[in-house]
Amino acid sequence: MAEQPQESPPGRRARGRPRAWGDTSDQNTIKSLDRAMQVLERLSELGGATLSDLAADLGQPPASVYRVLYTLEARGIVDFDATAQTWDIGAGAFRIGSQFLRRTSLVERARPVLRHLMGQTGETANLGVARDGKVLFISQVETHASIRAFFPPGTMSPMHASGIGKALLAQMTEPEVAAVAGRHGLERFTEHTLTDRDRLFADLAAARARGYAIDYEEKNLGMRCIAASVFDMHGEAVAGLSISGPAARIPDAAIPAFGAKVAAAAESLTIAIGGTPPAFTDPEISRGV
């Protein structure tokens, strides 16, 4: 007979954390697990790497990194390509990560909005959230055009150089934005990247006023992005919607029309999740679903 799960003793409430959960001292950290997570996170950011390159990037001995990778491979968390001699994220990591998407209705609610936005604009539509000072892309509907932007779910991007990132930053206070910039820096990716804080603050103020942010080839030359924030019931930005595509298909003259469509799509998703759309100060922005 299968063993039945034990119930909590009468009068005792089941806990999700021990009593000392607020203790952040080293005694509550498993150092080997922490190092393994560093390896996994960096491998994900690199999009695959050889053992020697990954170890050099992390500043760790190859033997130590190999033991981590070997252990993760046994669980399907990473894969090894014997031909290319490279390690990459495995299906096991995808299954675990998918649980994040299943526990929230945001992605499910966003799918029809993303499909409609792609159909309206002809450009790839994206959904992203802020995670650890970066943008985590969690859903996408690709354009049918041969030249397209591609941000598969799980992709991370710096906030100051992405449309969704700037849309979310625009809803933060200046100290909060400064904290993100101080932690991650304002790395230059192209000649258009905003690496000066004053210029970034001015750009975010403009985005906040009109209701959408613009990535003017700030991460990748030749690619543009227009994004707007999605808000929860408290009026707080919880995600961002965007379209992304070649600058040739998103010229300056087309940005206001595209921006209005993106802002309307973000408002539609805000309402779908029971959120509260904010007021915007630019009288020319078209609001509507």
Tokens for 91, please give them.
Answer: 């299906």
Q: Is the pLDDT of residue 1 over 70?
A: no
- Domain definitions of the chain by residue range: 29-92, 104-272
Domain 104-272 = CATH 3.40.50.180: no
Question: Within 10 Å of residue 57's Cβ, how many Cβ atoms?
Answer: 15
Provide CATH code, domain 29-92.
1.10.10.10
Contact 157, 135 (CB under 8 A): yes
Q: Is the pLDDT of residue 167 over 60?
A: yes
pTM of the model as a whole: 0.67
pLDDT at 31: 87
The mean pLDDT value of the chain amounts to 86
pLDDT at 149: 75
SS3 content of the chain, % helix, strand, coil (to 5): 45, 20, 40
Tens of pLDDT along 219-234? 999 999 999 999 988 8
Tens of pLDDT along 182-213? 999 999 999 999 999 999 999 999 999 999 99
